[in-house]
A and B are shown apart, each in its own frame.
Chain A
Amino acid sequence: MIEGARWRRWVFFNLPLALFVIGLLFPFYWMMVTTVRPDAELYRPWMAPNYTPFWTLNPTLDHIRYLLDETLFNRWMLNTFFISVLATVISLFCGLLAGYALSRLKFPFAGSLGTGIFITYLVPQTLLFIPLADIIRNFRLGDTPWALVLTYPTFLIPFCTWLLMGYFKAIPRELEECARIDGATRWQAMVYIVFPVAVPGILSAGIFAFTLSWNEFIYALVFLSSPEQKTVSVGITSELVRGDVFYWGSLMAGALLGSVPVALIYSFFVEYYVAGITGSVKG
């Protein structure tokens, strides 16, 4: 805490913090207000005498109803969930093994391999989707969830590998050596000792991987075309913007509902993983 007079604390701590919090939360507030705002208010010009941008006096659930009944939103949610979970599981599994190997095992070119994996993460998705689209077509995976389940790991595996590599490096080597003297094989030492100790790292890698796949846009836009295959991020932007007409209320309702699972996962796990980082993992 900043020491000194009360005004000092207000000017240098409370005020900036308040601005920061407002700046962060305002988009979500705007999303919520727009979701329940009736169409009449949405299209009211800003100089109208009864223009109320920051609140609404006639909240309505019409947009949500439209989203759920008239579009394939539920289907999109299911698609996104299926793809994100599978992509996360695949990436986490590969990242765990690769991260462990790169941080612990001595083998030729271990260092350059680690760097190589990192470099693949640096190739922008906006370029990578072009060759990937060709591959997807050759394997006849276009317009199926597998197109995304198999392409998301291309950026999730390097990410998980690097995050977990750092985590494994921070775990004292002696823990594993001790386990191996105690009678565990390298594999058992990894499963019984290293992974449980690395739970906070594994959880954060999983959360980030899930969030990245949930929010992914470009690959989903390119590889999926029929409405019933789409993910939330692509579905609401392509199906609720028709020509130059924006269905703002339903768009915002979709964005709001679409961010609920990620918000839930964060609020549930973040506590666990913050507790893990401060050293109170239940074993």
Chain B
Amino acid sequence: MSRVIIRSLNKRFDGVHAVKDVNLDIHDKEFVVLVGPSGCGKTTTLRMVAGLESITSGEIMIGDRIVNELPPMDRDIAMVFQNYALYPHMSVYDNMAFGLKMRGFDRTEISNRVKAAAEILGIEEQLQRKPRQLSGGQRQRVALGRAIVRHPQVFLFDEPLSNLDAKLRIQMRVEIKKIHVRLGTTAIYVTHDQVEAMTLGDRVVVMKDGLVQQVGEPLELYNEPANRFVAGFIGSPAMNFATVEMADTEGALWARHEGIRIKLPAAIAGRLRPHVGENVTLGIRPEDLRVASGSEEADLSFDAVVEVIEKLGSQILLDVRVGPNTMVAAVEPTVKAKVHDRLRLALNPDRLYFFDRVSQAAI
């Protein structure tokens, strides 16, 4: 059993409350990603799990032990750092063997483990080289190998792919996922990149200002964001937001704003009825907008003026102006639109999000 349980975890640096009351249950063999903008407390949380940062209050359990007071070496974890942190004066082999030597493994066992890890990572040829003779991707592999050889209870990753170029990052992302599937070691992974979080995580923890915003499976976060921050953070391009007023006319509920007038389907009207007469935040994902055909219902569409066209190939992003707001619509690549064109955009009524203006929570 190598679950990790975090209970009411807090961290205060001189006057800064960096991590606020974090609770998290990470199951055995699970891959959990902590994601959030810089300064959200995700790395601090990870470093507390590693034992590199003291805990102000709360409790961390790895396996069945409370590790609050244990030094990093006794926690049975392995960590991969953003800048690789390879020992520059040691060969790749010695880098990977260091942790085993420190723990008093015998030579043949060390050699077997290092060779096995090198084979998994495809770095058998580089074992005698020094880190500075390796490319960025190879260094990253060595850093991974150093974690693998130890057979730890938990892998900790601190933005391990941030220093790689875009192409290599995608490649290494897949490899990390493969290694996790193969070894089945519990993993906690920190990143600021929501795509990385969505592709790697069995579950994703979204953090902001030291607080956990939402914990869930990637599609759960995408489809049912708990608040406006999660809605805006998960998904690329980001969700469009507009302030609308709820109005009850002729028995139907309408979301109104300059340039927007949408009749809400009965399914969600019930939830929003208490907010009649108030302003709420409307959220629409760019991929839920499309260019309206003639037969479209006028109640579920609005006029927009095209300002910028981004042709990505598989889709086109239209940056449009709707009344005072700007929005992005991800439309079919076959759409012919020009800058300054006036279009009518239709939306998917089942995929509208509403957030409270004050608490930012989903309605």
**Interface residues, chain A, CB within 8 Å of chain B?**
172, 174-175, 177-185, 188, 192-193, 196-197, 199, 279, 281-283
Q: Is B130 an interface residue (CB 8 A)?
A: yes
- In the assembled complex, 30 residue pairs joining A and B whose CB atoms fall closer than 8 Å, in A order, are A172-B83, A172-B85, A174-B81, A174-B82, A174-B85, A177-B50, A177-B79, A177-B81, A178-B85, A178-B87, A178-B146, A179-B87, A179-B98, A180-B52, A181-B73, A181-B75, A181-B77, A182-B73, A182-B78, A182-B99, A182-B102, A188-B102, A193-B87, A197-B87, A197-B89, A199-B89, A279-B132, A281-B88, A283-B88, A283-B94
Q: Which of B51, B52, B89, B146 lies in contact with A182, CB distance below 8 A?
A: B146
Contact call B88/A184, Cβ cutoff below 8 A: no
- The 3 A-B pairs of least Cβ separation, nearest first, read A283-B89, A182-B99, A183-B102
Contact call A177/B150, Cβ cutoff below 8 A: no
| A198: nearest chain-B partner, CB-CB | B89
Q: Is B71 an interface residue (CB 8 A)?
A: yes
**Which of chain A's residues have a CB closer than 8 A to the CB of B37?**
none
**Which of chain B's residues have a CB closer than 8 A to the CB of A181?**
50-52, 72-73, 75, 77-79, 99
Q: Give the CA-CA distance A197 to B90 in the complex, in Å.
A: 10
The number of A-B residue pairs with CB atoms under 8 Å apart is 72
Contact call B89/A184, Cβ cutoff below 8 A: no
Query: With A188-B102, A279-B132, A283-B130 given, is the CB distance from A183 to B83 under 8 Å?
Result: no
Query: With A174-B81, A279-B132 given, is the CB distance from A180 to B71 under 8 Å?
Result: yes
**Which of chain B's residues have a CB closer than 8 A to the CB of A183?**
73, 99, 102-103
Q: Give the CA-CA distance A282 to B91 in the complex, in Å.
A: 10
| A283: nearest chain-B partner, CB-CB | B89
| A167 nearest CB across to chain B (Å) | 14
Contact with A along B46-87 (1 / 0, CB 8 A): 000011100000000000000000011101011101110101
Q: Is chain A's binding surface mostly helix, strand, loop or mixed? A: helix
Q: Give the CA-CA distance A179 to B71 in the complex, in Å.
A: 12
**Interface residues, chain B, CB within 8 Å of chain A?**
50-52, 71-73, 75, 77-79, 81-83, 85, 87-91, 94, 98-99, 102-103, 130, 132, 146, 150
Query: With A182-B102, A183-B99 given, is the CB distance from A177 to B72 under 8 Å?
Result: yes
**Which of chain B's residues have a CB closer than 8 A to the CB of A180?**
52, 71-73
| B175 nearest CB across to chain A (Å) | 20
**Which of chain A's residues have a CB closer than 8 A to the CB of B85?**
172, 174-175, 177-178
Question: 8 new A-B pairs (CB below 8 Å) besides A180-B71, A184-B73, A283-B91?
Answer: A179-B102, A181-B50, A181-B78, A182-B98, A182-B150, A188-B102, A199-B89, A283-B88
B79, B82, B88, most chain A CB atoms within 10 A: B88
Query: With A183-B73, A197-B89, A281-B89 given, is the CB distance from A177 to B52 under 8 Å?
Result: yes
| A175: nearest chain-B partner, CB-CB | B85
| A174: nearest chain-B partner, CB-CB | B85
Contact call A283/B103, Cβ cutoff below 8 A: no
**Which of chain A's residues have a CB closer than 8 A to the CB of B89?**
196-197, 199, 281-283
Q: Which of B72, B77, B87 lies in contact with A175, CB distance below 8 A?
A: B87
| B23 nearest CB across to chain A (Å) | 24
